[in-house]
Structure 1
Amino acid sequence: MRTRLRQFVVTAVALATASAALPAATAQSQDRQERPAHGGLSATVRYTEYGIPHVVAKDYANLGFGTGWAQAADQVCVLADGFVTVRGERSRVFGPEEEPDRSLSSAGENLSSDLYFRGVRDAGTVQKLLDRPAPGGPSRQAKDLMRGWAAGYNAWLKQKRISDPACRGAAWVRPVTALDVATRLYALSVLGGQGGTVDDITAARPPTGSATPAARTPDSEDLVRAVRDLLPDGSMGSNAVAFNGSTTANGRGLLLGNPHYPWQGGRRFWQAQQTIPGELNVSGGSLLGTPTISIGYNAHVAWSHTVSTGVPFTVHQLTLVPGDPTAYLVDGTPERMTERTVTVPVKDGTPVTRSQWWTRYGPVLSSPDGDLPLPWTTTTAYALNDPNAANLRFADTSLGFSKARSTADVLGSLTRNQGLPWVNTIAADSSGHTLFSQSQVLPRVTNELATRCSTALGKATYPAAGVAVLDGSRGDCALGSDADAVQPGIFGPARMPTLKDAPYAENSNDSAWLANADRPLTGYERIFGTVGTQRSLCTRGAIEDVAAMAERGGLTVKDLQRQQFANRVPAGDLAADAAARACAALPGGTATGSDGKAVDVSEACGVLKAWDHSMDTDSRGALLFDRFWRKLIRAVPGAQLWKVPFSAADPVRTPNTLNTDAPGFAGALADTVAELRTAGIALDAKLGANQFVVRGGQRIPVPGGTESLGVWNKIEPVWNAASGGYSEVSMGSSHIQAVGWDGSGCPVARTLLTYSQSSNPNSDHFADQTRLFSREKWVTSRFCEKDILSSPALKVVRVHE
């Protein structure tokens, strides 16, 4: 074993030495010496601290190969599970009634997931998009990356034994194709549309008998609530800020990206550096199963994304032909729906066959238990138009970012490729420029069109939630096209809310309006988001923080690091002291809970008063306020929560002044105290003692707080009183990056992958960065060759077919 180890070290050093120069001649000479004679794909993967791979290859296919190989090494079980999903094989493998990981769609059970994805495959949807010439379809480089990724994943499967117990020995871990990789990208694109309504699409059935239409008219308020839950920001979010050179110590830009994504499943990030000598050199986080860097930085530019408020779909209300619920009228002429019959194999059972119904607008939606409450009656049906169902341009957009040398190039990629489905882009560059752009694929619904063509339902839902319900019986209500759009029926780049070169550009998943509070963006259509409406506490707190930073000036990467872990609670600043005073004024120190029982809350008054208004792991009182705030905002309607209402003239500081006289205040406090005491948790317990994750049998305290608290370092923990409080995290801060430049040619970058690189509990990189996150520490980027080669953890692996 010692001999083998020495041989490996010698080989690794030799390869590392051969790569010492920024590998221009490097990869070419290595390729001549070591490329397999049969002409298969190959790459060099150099690992540094925390298992971060730096993939070097001669071209895009080989780069995809190295990336797929390295992703499989860290995440094979999660990846394989996702490929079972996009092939429509979950029912056959796991059973039809099990609930799938919802990373790739909203399907409530395996059968509906399979019916949707098999339908996509049977219709040839993704293959047709692959066959489109760029820019309507993916470029040759993007397709080479997909093809190479699949080959690299398959090569890892062939050469390695799986140690992850989640899929060790499982027959469903199988080789994949480039089409599988492309379908996974497609699934991510349609998450806000078709992928968010899978149950509605697959359960839609024509009515039988004589249903009474009036009795089943959908409720607009229910639909508005459903739409808000459907959009990706219902389950994800992010913060990002870019500072321009006028605010920084050296006149160069700075970027802090903090995407809030799931901690488990197929929407995790995975860190890597990708290099094609002389062509591409970029680091950052990739969404699992994708071959490009999704959020990252290079020697010139850094970018991040936040979930946008744009509604990426429209609903079209169909007037049905009397006596035929599968035909509808357009300008008085009947059109038949297309029936797509899909068959799904089922584990230990008979295959299930179902029909899906499609129209010129898209699939018909209807399900009593689905995501959108839209009934199919004898006179009316509703169809979903999702323009991202024709979008396979995400990889090219990200690739354009990876090769960018400025924020202008980032905007150029957005303009050229138009491939982002449901996110904003925030960027900074080494020359000191900043960018915010809500450039996403949105149906071309202008306010004029919505006014002219909305049905009665749409007249309520469009102003309230931005979702258009258009009259599908009128040809003049078609979406039309912009001359600069790459596909019909979407907005072109000229219509996108964009802010250039502001001192700061920030977004926390509200609309584009206050990307910079001093330079508000207006004039965009309602479907993009609102103007002049109340902002979330996340947005308010973020603007307060970054505006103060910009005004102070002299900023460095260290200031970004401090902002990430400040853990300030805007809700606490606004409400905690008032709550403590009202608590102390309660007669006898008691309050009545929702169960009618009196609770002694007097101890809570002092704890709230002494709390430092942070969600640090050693903060006492943070858990008490967290649990109280969750209960209070459920018990007290928003309009009654504050004494001073929202004002568009002061959107960052209003509403304010907690209304402690509101019905529900005392009850929420009583319920909180009773809950913690029943769980055996002290009211002044340190947050980290009761907000943690368990990895390798050890508790790791977790800083940060939930969305409604307004904390920049967002964490959505899972409450389990029996396990001691919050004993897991469902989503939150994920691939964090603080990036600047110092003129050396190497970015000054600090990163952190909060949940660590691997899902395999047997991996050395299952929890190492999670422990860093707990201690609010960072990983120093190794981007340039000298830094990679000086890593004490350097391990070099040559991978090939």
Structure 2
Amino acid sequence: MLGCRTREIDVARRGWRWAGGAVAGLLLAAMLWEPLSVAQPEAAPRQSYDVTITRDRYGVPHIVGRRDADVGYGLAWAHAEDDFTTLQEVFASVRGRSGALLGPEGAKLDVALELTRARAVATRDWPKLPADLRALILAYAQGLNDYAAQHPAEVRLRQLFPVTGEDVVAGFVLRSPFFFGLDRVLAPLSEGRLPPRDAEPVKPGESSTDTRPVEMKGSNAFAVTGRRSGDGVTRLIVNSHQPWTGPVAWWEVVVHSGEGWDFAGALFPGAPYPLLGHNRTLGWANTVNRPDLIDVYRLTVNGAGSAYRLDGRWVAFESKMLWLKVRFGPFVLPVPHRVKRSIHGPAFETPQGQFAIRYAGQGESGNVEQYYRLNRARDFAEWRAAMAKQGVVATNFVYADAAGHIAFFYNAKFPDRAPGYDWRGIVPGDTSKTLWTRYRPFTAVPALIDPVPGWVANSNNTPFVATAAGSNLRRADFAPELGIETYMTNRAWRFGELLADPGPIDRDRLLRTKFDKGYSRSGWAGVWMAKLLGVDAARDGDIAAAQALLRTWDWTLDGIGSADSLAALLIGEGVRKVYRGDPLPEPRAALVDVVAFLRSNWQRLDPPYAELARVRRGKSDVSISGGPDALRAYYWRRTPDGRLAGFNGDSFIMLVEWDPDGRVRSQSVQPFGSAIERPKSVHYADQSRLFAAEKWKPVLFDARDLAAQGGTPYRPG
């Protein structure tokens, strides 16, 4: 009897061991299956590249190569040295592996990859690219692959390398439409909601459906011609507002090629060349614009939901099941997700019906070549010819050059839409009359070239305010079907006020304008302050005290006045709404929230703004002035210690100057440092103090200046 019982226990133990082993095996499989399921791409045949990298005292890499392709190899290597982490995230996204690397949030990118068909577009267009561009991109890809091979411990995702030329192109295709608001449409439709209407005029502070830069992204750009500057110097300010880290954070570089490619500027991870900055004879800045380039179609579907009606006939949806690979802790699990398409583009089922979207540049990769041609342009005529390619689907360009030309282009690839439809809303999808297939020519783009006032500027505002009153473009001259935005940011109100005086716009005046920290009573901030001061505080002493302090505010966040901290926090509450085109917050709730934050962290309503507003990176922690939607743009997140840690706003800033003889010099600064994701590097945050103090470092564009600083060249690979 005892022997039987012992044998039963033995069997049970073996059974549990087997079951435990089976579970362990399943868990191990869940951890390891994803890279095994990936087909590793074949790298292009290896080439030899003749290139050196020299870093200046701030760690900015200066890449010198015999050919453009040599420079591309060195650029990739140098960027990997500084931020291999983010580069891997970018290339995971174009392989449909963001979910495996970043979890559920990353999986959204994997869906977007399919919806934009970025990989299919890249595969189709790669062989068609010009030979010089393909050579550059292949060299860039090999630079990343060689870095990965020599630093295997830094590789975050197995089978991610080798990177290919098609991967680089797919990155451009995937990223482009999100700069003009594709996320504003995809997100609600994916969640079963209707997207907002687009590009409508709005009074300051009112509820609006105007598409505006979301997540508090924006930019400023200024150009002043030598005849207006007072000293004969033509100036350009590049002042993009991007997140300070991540896949759309700027990385600075200077390149010199024996084939004539000389450029200083900045780029995003995954780009094989600078996206803005200057060469010897010309330069440009970009600001995000939001023309209505995305259309939503209401579909009429059959009872089974398998087909939609178009011109009186039924057309079957394209349907595909995606198996997303999504990381949950240590495990990567397959998650099914079905995507549909109509002839218009991606299609979505919602409780309100079925809809499809179509956006400008859909299925195109022309931006890959256009940016390269802009880099290499030698004068305004060549640069404008590159712009006419219309590969860059949307973004404002502010231009200046050594010859004294300045220009503003509200660059957009406008669909050639039929009149008579509500293009800002939802249009019928059952007729081919709404299915546009062509675009307006580049000559239809709103542009100001060498305006009489001698200056142009943009701060993510309507193109109808870009220079002094009386010389601006007229809204009536542009068809409503173009969907041109009409919104005015606070920054646009302010540059209009600051540059209105007819006197010279010299260097000091231009920089005072760029670093202005004021708020205009004419814009949304004026409406918001009136609402806050209009709250009935008869029974609330804290709100009454906050209103009394707010009435003393001098409408600038320069860190001098005692009301700056309170005003900044309240401005921050408002800007998150107006940037999205939503109604301003309920003012009493905003006051209660801000008062509670200040009381709990500071035990007062008037702590010094310099104590709150911080630029933090590693051991560096410095104060900053400015605020949301100020020309000195600074956006923050509240921290547990009651501070406001910056994460967005002014990012890479560059001042470019051409003297009367056409010689160029430039200065730049960024919030952290060149080694943006290398905490042990001396260049992790070595520019933060300069950045916060509104000071500059030199851009050593001339090789002699770099040599005088004593940098040591090295060869990558």
Deviation sequence 1:175-200 (CA, Å, 0-9, x none): 42222222211122121465665557
Q: Does 1:255 align with 2:236?
A: yes
In 1: Cα distance, 2:207 partner to 2:160 partner: 35
2:542 maps to which of 587, 599, 615: 599
With over 3 angstroms needed to count, the CA separation of the structure-2 counterparts of 1:629 and 1:478, relative to structure 1, is: closer
Q: Distance in 2 between matches of 1:200 and 1:579?
A: 31
CA distance in 2, matches of 1:723, 1:528: 48
Correspondence 1:125 to 2:121: yes
Aligned to 2:41: none
Q: Does 1:287 align with 2:287?
A: no
How do 1:288-303 residues align onto structure 2 when only pairs under 5 Å count? 288-303=269-284
Distance 1:789 1:366, change over 3 A: farther
Kept after mapping to 1: 8 A contact 2:118/2:171: no
User: Counterpart of 1:688?
Assistant: 610
Partner of 2:471: 519
Q: Distance in 1 between matches of 2:183 and 2:195?
A: 23
How far apart, CA to CA, are the structure 2 residues paired with 1:620 and 1:391?
Answer: 53
Give CA-to-partner distance per residue, 1:239-272, whole Å, 9 cap, x none: 1111123202343421112111111210001101
Residue in 1 aligned with 2:628? 706
* Structure 2 CA distance for partners of 1:737 and 1:700, relative to 1, 3 Å: same
- Are 1:142 and 2:122 counterparts? no
| 2: CA distance, partners of 1:574 / 1:479 | 36
Q: Shift of residue 392 of structure 1?
A: 1.4
Match of 2:406 in 1: 434
Query: Which of residues 181, 186, 189 in structure 1 aligns to 2:173?
Result: 186
C-alpha contact (below 8 Å) 2:652/2:669 kept by paired residues? yes
Alpha-carbon distance between aligned partners in 1 of 2:505 and 2:110, rounded to the nearest angstrom? 54
1:782 aligns with one of 700, 706, 714: 700
What is the CA distance between 1:418 and its match in structure 2? Answer: 0.9
Q: Any idea what SS the aligned residue of 1:627 has?
A: helix
Equivalences, count: 655
Q: Is the 8 A contact 2:224 2:236 kept in 1?
A: yes
- 1:48 is displaced (CA, Å) by 0.8
> Structure 1 residues 399, 150: CA separation in 2 closer, same or farther (over 3 Å shift)?
same
Shift of 1:674: 4.2
Which residues of structure 1 form unaligned runs of 5+?
A: 1-37, 101-109, 133-137, 205-215, 368-374, 481-488, 643-662
Moved more, 436-445 or 768-777: 436-445
Question: 1:625 and 1:493, CA in 2 relative to 1: closer, same or farther beyond 3 A?
Answer: same
1:153-172 mapped onto 2 (5 Å cutoff): 153-160=144-151, 171=158
Q: Partner of 2:271: helix, strand, or coil?
A: coil
* Shift in Å, 1:304: 0.3
- TM-fit CA distance, 1:683: 3.0
CA drift at 1:88: 1.2
Are residues 1:561 and 2:516 paired? no
Query: Does the alignment pair 1:398 with 2:344?
Result: no
Contact 1:601 1:673 in 2 (8 A): no
Superposition deviation, residue 695 in structure 1: 2.1
Cα displacement string for residues 383-435 of structure 1 (whole angstroms, at most 9, x for unaligned residues): 111232322122322222222333343322111x2122331101111121111
CA deviations on 1:284-326 (whole Å, 9 max, x unpaired) are: 0111210121110122112101111212221222222x42422
C-alpha displacement at 1:534, in angstroms?
A: 5.8
Retained in 1: the 8 A contact 2:520–2:526?
A: no
- Report deviation, 1:685: 2.4
Which residue number in structure 2 is paired with residue 543 of structure 1? 496
1:739 paired residue among 636, 648, 656: 656
1:354-373 CA distances to partner (integer Å, 9 max, x unpaired)? 33111111110245xxxxxx
Whether the 8 Å CA contact 1:275–1:281 is kept in 2: the answer is yes
- 2:147 is aligned with what amino acid? W
Paired amino acid for 2:362: A
Q: Any residues of structure 2 matched to 1:455-466 within 5 Å, and which?
A: 459=422, 462=423
Distance 2:528 2:322 in 1: 59
What TM-score, normalized by structure 2, do the two folds share?
0.82
Residue number in structure 1 paired with 2:342: 359
Matches within 5 A, 1:273-352: 273-320=254-301, 322-347=302-327, 348=331, 351-352=334-335
Secondary structure of the 1:266 match is: coil
- Deviation string, structure 1 residues 578-620 (Cα, Å, up to 9, x no partner): 979x97x99xxx935xxx74427447635752x5543235554
How much has 1:669 moved relative to structure 2? 5.1
Q: Which shifted more, 310-319 or 491-500? A: 310-319
**Residues 390-539 of structure 1: pairs in structure 2 closer than 5 A:** 390-415=363-388, 417-445=389-417, 449-451=418-420, 454=421, 459=422, 462=423, 467=424, 469-480=426-437, 489-502=438-451, 503-516=454-467, 517-522=469-474, 523-526=477-480, 528-530=482-484, 535-539=488-492
Which secondary structure does the structure 2 equivalent of 1:55 belong to? strand
| Counterpart position of 2:714 | 797
Query: Which residue identity is paired with 2:363?
Result: A
The farther-off stretch of 60-69 and 676-685 is 676-685
Mean alpha-carbon deviation: is it higher for 426-435 or for 245-254? Answer: 245-254
Say if 1:539 and 1:573 are closer, same or farther in 2 by CA, change over 3 A: closer
Which amino acid in structure 1 is aligned with residue 63 of structure 2?
Answer: V
- Residue 49 of structure 2 is aligned to residue 41 of structure 1: yes
C-alpha distance in 2, partners of 1:470/1:541?
37
Distance 2:344 2:310 in 1: 11
Q: Is the Cα contact below 8 Å between 2:220 and 2:459 reproduced in 1? A: yes
1:25-104 mapped onto 2 (5 Å cutoff): 39-95=47-103, 97=104, 99-100=105-106
Counterpart amino acid of residue 762 in structure 1: K
1:567–1:616: 8 Å Cα contact kept in structure 2? yes
Alpha-carbon shift at residue 731 of structure 1 (Å)? 1.4
Alpha-carbon distance in 1 for matches of 2:165, 2:73:
11
Aligned equivalents of 1:76, 1:227: Cα separation in 2? 40
Q: Distance in 2 between matches of 1:73 and 1:633?
A: 36
Matches within 5 A, 1:613-628: 613-617=555-559, 620-628=562-570
Judged with a 3 Å threshold, the aligned counterparts in structure 2 of structure 1 residues 528 and 509 are, in CA distance, closer, same or farther, namely farther
The answer (yes or no) to whether the contact 1:401–1:413 under 8 Å persists in 2 is yes
> Secondary structure of 2:306's match?
strand
Q: In structure 1, how many angstroms separate the alpha carbons of the residues matched to 2:381 and 2:286?
A: 16
Cα shift at 1:563: 2.7
Q: 1:772 aligns with which of 680, 690, 694?
A: 690
Change (3 A) 1:139 1:622: farther
Confirm or deny: 8 A CA contact 1:116 1:202 kept in the other structure: no
Distance in 2 between residues matched to 1:120 and 1:221, nearest whole Å: 21
Residues 450 and 760 of structure 1, relative CA distance in 2, 3 Å threshold: farther
Q: Please tell me the residue identity of whatever aligns with 1:131.
A: P
Rounded Cα–Cα distance in structure 1 between residues aligned with 2:479 and 2:596: 48
Q: Which runs of 5+ in 2 are unaligned?
A: 1-45, 201-205
Q: Residues 385 and 149 of structure 1: is their aligned pair in 2 closer, same or farther, counting only changes over 3 Å? A: same
Between the aligned partners of 2:635 and 2:435, the Cα distance in structure 1 is 41
Shift of 1:621: 2.3
Partner of 2:634: 715
Q: Which AA in structure 1 matches 2:667? A: R
Q: Give the Cα separation in 2 of the matches to 1:760 and 1:227.
A: 42
Partner Cα separation in structure 1 for residue 212 and residue 393 of structure 2: 11
Conservation of the 8 A alpha-carbon contact between 2:298 and 2:356? yes
Cα distance change, pair 474–301 in 1 and its aligned pair in 2 (3 A): same
SS in 2 for 1:763: coil
Structure 2 CA distance for aligned equivalents of residues 746 and 283 of structure 1:
14
Tell me the equivalent position of 2:163.
176
User: CA 1:278 to 1:737, structure 2 compared with 1: closer, same or farther past 3 Å?
Assistant: same
1:753-793 deviation line (CA, Å, top 9, x unaligned): 2232222212211111122111211111211122111114x
Name the TM-score, length of structure 1 as normaliser. Answer: 0.74
